[in-house]
Amino acid sequence: MEVPLLDRARGDIRLRYENYGGVTRPLHLFETGGLRMRHPRAQQGCVGVMVNSAGCILGGDHLSLAIEAGEKAEVAVTTLAAEKIHRTLEAPALLDLSFTLAERSTLSFLPQETIFFDASGLTRRLNVAMAEDAALLLVDMIVLGRLASGEDAITCRWSDSWRVHRGGRLIFAEESRMNGAVRGYFDQPSLGGGSRAIALLLAVAPDAEGRLDALRDRLEPFKSVCAYGVSAWNGMLVARFLATSPDILRKVLTVGIGLWREDAARLWQ
């Protein structure tokens, strides 16, 4: 049976932030399709909230977000809600993320979780170009199935390709692939041990390595409910997390992010 080709969403945000007299403001905003960027907390630092008016991502959709942080700009970007990846009859959806950080700028990209539905598919590409003295904080949380509805035996296609360049040199590269039944991957003791919520925290900054012990101390109270590992090298800090519940993982990540941002809990409210 031939599957008809359906119209799919195209969305694009291109945005530059600049520092004016010690205050960061958005400049040169371009947005099209179903993506919008709003800045509701002008008195609490520069926080951009990305809105996907479609409410979900379907196979064949192509969304892109390009952010530039000018010299000394400080900005945090989050999402209005969790992003839901629905069942697809076509090719996976495509999400392109591109971040450029100028000298002494700071970008915190802290989206809420991405939830994969059964038979969903998503390809993501992340590219970061940052100055030597810039600072990047990036969090990615994935939930495999609508766990509150008891859907934990899904199949999905998921592909990630991440590249981070600092001072023109590649310092972080990661490729992730999954295609098939989640149980075949994450129920193995050596991989997930039954977990359905996974996350990555990546910090790249001149002081990133110096925060290693402080982050481990913050995470210590959660070791019985969340498996994690933290390491630091070459001006980077990387933490990976596994949990059976996204609610648990949210709490753990909020505490971890709080090492960099005191408003971590408020960003996801």
Domain contains 152: yes
Does 179 or 165 have the greater pLDDT score?
165
Number of domains in the chain: 1
pLDDT digits (tens, 9 = 90+) for 110-164: 999 999 998 899 999 999 999 999 999 999 999 988 877 777 778 888 999 999 9
Domain contains 127: yes
Enter the pTM of the model.
Answer: 0.93
pLDDT tier, 183 (very low <50, low <70, confident <90, very high otherwise): confident
pLDDT digits (tens, 9 = 90+) for 208-227: 999 999 999 999 999 999 99
Domain contains 266: no
Domain contains 135: yes
- Asked whether residue 249 carries a pLDDT value surpassing 50, the answer given is yes
Domain contains 260: no
Domain contains 24: yes
pLDDT at 3: 46
Domain contains 80: yes
Q: Mean pLDDT over all residues of the chain?
A: 90
SS (H, E, C) the chain: CCCCCCCCCEEEEEEEEEEECCEEEEEEEEEECCEEEECCCCECECEEEEEECCCCECCCCEEEEEEEECCCCEEEEEECCCEEECECCCCCEEEEEEEEECCCCEEEECCCCEEECCCEEEEEEEEEEECCCCEEEEEEEEEECCHHHCCCCCEEEEEEEEEEEECCEEEEEEEEEEEEEHHHHHCCCCCCCCCCEEEEEEEECCCCHHHHHHHHHHHHHHCCCCEEEEEEECCEEEEEEEECCHHHHHHHHHHHHCCCCCCHHHHCC
Domain range for 183 = 10-207
Domain contains 48: yes
pLDDT at 40: 85
